[in-house]
């Protein structure tokens, strides 16, 4: 097992390329199960979750191979309708196999994913939607068995909240369903629009992606295609905050600022200098930053996946600020670890009250989840002295070559074997 060691205090300077979006690549890779033909997916990041998904496709019967940033999903063999615990437990996004296999085979058995460090994240919204499309649901021995032997039927499906995963799963399932499906109160994230673009290239009939109502007219068959994944907006936001916390000057290339409007607005309000060009964001610290309150919301609001990183920044901004979490319960596990750096923060309900301090001090810390881990790395970059970050396998799920990119920008950071 590896760990990251950081000696803080260096300004980040230079430029890096932003990788393809993990949260977009995963449903797009599962979408290849909707056709027996070959699909070529470009700009796919090299991450643990991507490897798990490629392994998953091969197990199901869709031969897939990743070479650099391209995944080729070849002509399908006979598809397997069972998604076992050993695969599903590694990655919650594995539940996205339900929609394609239900559409193709009329049945799917998926191990229940359980909870995770940031909350229960139930799949009942997915299952309720499939029921409305005519599927039968049976829970037994830790598995959910879904059947629709006569095929799925289009339906008007209204979500009680705009679930990204459920929106993706219903889009995947309804692409081959009989009739028209409308997803009401759909998620509006850029990753949803990217999946829709991929499905349309395959021959699906989809309109309204990126709005509250998505309409899918089922077709009889989908074909192979070539598609390029959008840039990772969460990775880009993380490096923007890394620049701010180290008083740096960094240019982010191969990115899309329109996907980050709320984060960019908050950073500008705090006093950071940000200039936007086509596919490029230039970030520069020019003066002491001001404390800014944030409240996480569904897109296009402030992303819950940036909450921890923002909190790390506010820990070293003079004055008081409030970070309110409204999307996930139990997403403050990083608070205790930030306090080990000397941060003055406290939890009250679903909010964290932050009083900025003059400096943080390096400390040994432990990662609880992907974005919490990013916050600890950011704190280590600006802390005085040495920081050791343990359990970094969480970071490998969502940040491609994190320490290499930071080192390119001048950070004193290395990955070593843990004792």
Q: Which residues are catalytic?
A: 116
- Taking alpha carbons only, the member of 180, 225, 177 closest to residue 199 is 225
Question: 8: number of CA atoms within 13 Å, CB side?
Answer: 25
Name every residue whose Cβ is closer than 8 Å to that of residue 402 and which is 6 or more positions away in sequence: 4, 374, 377, 395
Residue 372 to residue 365: CA distance in whole angstroms: 11
Question: In 3-state terms, what secondary structure has residue 362?
Answer: coil
CA separation for the pair 289, 272 (Å, rounded): 7
Q: Is the Cβ–Cβ distance between 345 and 311 less than 8 Å?
A: yes
Closest of 14, 393, 43, 398 to residue 198, by C-alpha: 43
Q: Can you say whether residue 75 is alpha, beta or left, with left for phi > 0 and alpha for psi between -120 and 50 degrees?
A: beta
Give kind and range of the element (H or E) at residue 253. Answer: strand 249-253
244 vs 161: CA distance, rounded Å: 33
Contact between 87 and 59 under an 8 Å Cβ cutoff? The reply is yes
Residue 64's Cβ-side half-sphere holds a number of Cα atoms within 13 Å equal to 28
How do 351-355 and 320-324 pair as beta strands?
A: antiparallel
Bridge partner residues of 3 (DSSP):
416
DSSP state of 390: E
Distance (Å, rounded) from C-alpha 176 to C-alpha 100? 9
Cα angle for residues 294, 295, 296 (degrees, 5° grid): 120
Residue 247 contacts residue 288 (beta carbons within 8 Å): no
What angle (nearest 5°) sits at the alpha carbon of residue 31, between those of residues 26 and 33? 120
């Amino acid at each position: 097992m590896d760990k990251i060691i950081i000696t803080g205090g260096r300004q980040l300077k230079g430029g890096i390329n932003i990788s393809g979006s993990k949260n977009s690549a995963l449903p797009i890779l599962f979408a290849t199960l909707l056709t027996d033909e070959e699909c070529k997916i470009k700009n796919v990041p090299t991450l643990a979750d991507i490897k798990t998904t490629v392994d998953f496709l091969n197990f199901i019967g869709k031969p897939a191979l990743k070479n650099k940033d391209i995944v080729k999903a070849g002509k399908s063999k006979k598809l397997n309708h069972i998604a076992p615990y050993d695969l599903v437990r590694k990655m919650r996004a594995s539940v996205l196999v339900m929609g394609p296999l239900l559409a193709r085979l009329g049945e799917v058995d998926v191990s229940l994913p359980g909870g995770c460090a940031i909350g229960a994240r139930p799949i009942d919204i997915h299952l309720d939607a499939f029921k409305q499309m005519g599927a039968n649901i049976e829970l037994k021995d830790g598995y959910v068995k879904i059947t629709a032997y006569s095929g799925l039927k289009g339906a008007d499906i209204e979500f009680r909240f705009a679930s990204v995963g459920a929106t993706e799963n219903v889009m995947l399932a309804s692409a081959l369903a009989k009739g028209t499906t409308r997803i009401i109160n759909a998620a509006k994230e850029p990753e949803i629009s990217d999946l829709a673009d991929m499905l349309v290239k395959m021959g699906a009939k989809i309109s309204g992606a990126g709005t509250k109502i998505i309409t899918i007219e089922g077709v009889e068959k989908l074909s192979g295609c070539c598609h390029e994944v959008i840039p990772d907006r969460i990775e880009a936001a993380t490096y923007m905050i890394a620049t701010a916390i180290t008083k740096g000057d960094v240019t982010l290339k191969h990115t899309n600022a329109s996907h980050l409007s709320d984060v960019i607005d908050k950073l500008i309000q705090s006093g950071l200098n940000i200039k936007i060009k086509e596919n490029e964001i230039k970030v520069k610290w020019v003066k002491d930053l001001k404390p800014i309150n944030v409240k996480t919301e569904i897109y296009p609001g402030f992303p819950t996946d940036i909450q921890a990183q923002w909190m790390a920044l506010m820990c070293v901004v003079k004055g008081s600020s409030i970070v309110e979490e409204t999307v996930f319960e139990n997403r403050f596990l990083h608070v205790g670890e930030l306090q080990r750096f000397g941060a003055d923060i406290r939890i009250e309900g679903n909010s964290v009250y932050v009083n900025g301090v003059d400096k943080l001090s390096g400390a040994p810390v432990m990662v609880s989840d992907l974005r919490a881990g990013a916050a600890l790395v950011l704190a280590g970059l600006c802390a005085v002295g040495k920081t050791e970050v343990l359990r970094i396998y969480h970071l490998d799920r969502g940040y491609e070559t994190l320490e290499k990119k930071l080192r390119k920008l001048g950070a004193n950071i290395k990955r070593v074997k843990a004792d």
